[in-house]
Structure 1
């Protein structure tokens, strides 16, 4: 479809189509074009994403994708009652894993210099409310299942495990609240351009392109925590060195404050992996998806002690001077 849209709406002729993650894309004359369906995006959100991409480009980020204007001068086009944007990157290159922390640090550094208020895609200060909402919804569902016979192995695991993970979530929320009450943000704690979920694959692949549709405006701790979480679950035996290097490389651009470290830790403590597994299973349509998620849940539950150890050793592993920075520990994890 992207070929027809580029020809009819943008006057650009290309030869080959391909899949780039979830999107249709093509490369022509060293330019990467990516077709993004935008049914769920508000006009105000699109406007902010467009301004953010232009800002990063103006600050020297050559990998950022920008919004392509159609022949009519619009960045949004309608095709068969569907809305799309085309993102173009004019510096096609492949991504190397080397110093990903430093690259993220530069990205955040540029993102902190945005010269306008970001409102529609901002998540600043919203973690507590969003976490509470998700946990409350799952608790309400759990309560409806308490007096029923489990219909699947997943039901049984969910019923038995939820009180533990609800307690973990409550600890994370309390740690976040205490941080916002007791600590003072520093320059590094200013809002910046972050990702919905920053993981290894976000920038990896044959084509290195920073897609504005991956972005939210938030505290840098969001990306730092989510990358570390994914790295841990990717290989719980060998994550130590990668996570340590990631934070060391990141801080060559800008050292983290005690406030930053505490937000990172609160986010790591919140059991997002478990929450998403529950949400995805009970909204899954296909049986193969449910079986996959059931296996994933078994893995999470069988490694709960290792996950506690990951949290217990986190500050030591990434060499945070906890006493000097007066960063509180979590009693039940350290005992």
Structure 2
């Protein structure tokens, strides 16, 4: 179906199909075409992502997936009440995992040179509002459950643990507010192209794939914090050397300001891993997924002391000169 669609709508005769990550894909003369669901993305958002992708390519990034337009010049096709886009990678390059910090820093550098306004995918200055919204919603659910007997182990764990994580979330919001009040952003703190959630597979598994549908326009510390969070939970015993190397590589291109470090830390303080587990549990109807979320929550609660030590020692193991940069610490978190 995909090759037929490419031929009819885009005038591209491609060879056999394959799967790359979660997408259907096919090849033509060394180029990779991806068939990507666009969700409910409005046309203005697709236009913004297209312009950003073009900007990054023109500024030297060879691994960007760019939009292919239909014969009528549209960036998408609507099929069976769903919207899809075709993205192409002109240089299907095997992915190497070394020097990721440097590569990310260069990616952010290119993103900072965007001169047109980015509105649809911008999250600049929105963290506080989004975090408060999330916290309020969860507190409401918790309050409603307070006077009922928990139905199962998951509900019992949620009822017992929420006050602690609410405190952590409130601390992260306060740390963010203080940073925005007390500190001055530098040049490195301008908005750039970031990822909704940067992880070790975001840029593809076997090939480099920088997919516009993964992007938001935000402060670079968003990516640094999410990468740090993922690597910490990937292995809570041995994360330090890898993370230290990553942050050192990143700063070999662009040293972080005190404002950047503080935003990064505020984001790490926000217990996203906990919030997502609770939200996913209540959003799924699958018993198997509910069981997975229960096991995950249990694991996070067992690891909470270790997680607190990770937060308490972050500035130290990341070798941040807190005194010189006058970065405040969170007193109650044990290092």
Shorter-chain TM-score tier: over 0.9
Structure 1: 5+ residue runs without aligned partners? none
Mapping 1:267-286, distance limit 5 Å: 267-286=267-286
* Bigger mean CA offset, 65-74 vs 3-12: 3-12
Asked if the contact 1:102/1:250 (under 8 Å) is kept, the reply is yes
- Write the distance in 2 (CA, Å) between the matches of 1:191 and 1:98: 26
Residues of 2 paired with 1:176 and 1:142: CA distance? 25
Partner in structure 2 of residue 310 of structure 1: 310
> Does the 8 Å contact 1:284/1:290 carry over to 2?
yes
Secondary structure of the 2:92 match is coil
Instruction: Give distance in 1, aligned partners of 2:182 and 2:233.
Output: 31
Please show how residues 184-199 of structure 1 align to structure 2 within 5 Å: 184-199=184-199
Q: What residue number does 1:212 align with?
A: 212
The CA distance in 1 between the partners of 2:87 and 2:239, in whole Å, is 34
For 2:290 and 2:81, how far apart are their aligned partners in 1? 32
Mapped contact 1:97–1:204 kept (Cα < 8 A): no
For residue 37 of structure 2, what is the aligned residue in structure 1? 37
1:1-335 pair list within 5 angstroms: 1-334=1-334
Paired residues of 1:322 and 1:328 also in contact (CA < 8 A):
yes
Point out where structure 2 has 5 or more consecutive residues left out of the alignment: none
TM-fit CA distance, 1:38: 1.7
Deviates further, 50-59 or 196-205? 196-205
Q: Deviations over 1:106-158 (max 9, x none)?
A: 00000000011111100000000000000100100111111111112111110
- Aligned partners of 2:309 and 2:334 also within 8 Å: no
Tell me, yes or no, if the aligned pair for 1:25 and 1:32 is still in contact at 8 Å: yes
Q: Cα deviation per residue 1:242-274 (whole Å; 9 max; x = unaligned)? A: 110010000111100000000000000000000
Distance 1:213 1:39 in 2: 10
Offset at residue 319 of structure 1 (A) = 0.6
SS at match of 1:332: coil
With 49-58 and 89-98 compared, the bigger mean Cα shift is at 89-98
Distance in 1 (CA, whole Å) between partners of 2:200 and 2:227 is 7
Whole-Å Cα distance in 1 between the matches of residues 240 and 52 of structure 2?
Answer: 34
What are the superposed Cα offsets for residues 28-82 of structure 1, whole Å, 9 maximum, x if unpaired? Answer: 2211111111231111111110000000000010000110011112111122332
SS at the partner of 1:206? coil
Deviation for aligned residue 1:7: 1.7
Contact 2:204/2:210, CA 8 A, preserved across alignment: no
Per-residue CA deviations over 1:89-110 (Å, capped at 9, x if unaligned) read 1000121110101000000000
CA distance in 1, matches of 2:287, 2:14: 38
SS of 1:36 mapped into structure 2 = strand
Does structure 1 retain, via aligned residues, the 8 Å contact 2:56–2:64?
yes
Q: Runs of 4 or more off by more than 3 Å in structure 1?
A: none
In 2, Cα distance between the equivalents of 1:278 and 1:18?
35
1:39 and 1:200 mapped to 2: Cα distance? 23
How far is 1:334 from its partner? 4.2
Q: Which moved more, 1:129-138 or 1:66-75?
A: 66-75
RMSD of equivalent CA atoms: 1.1
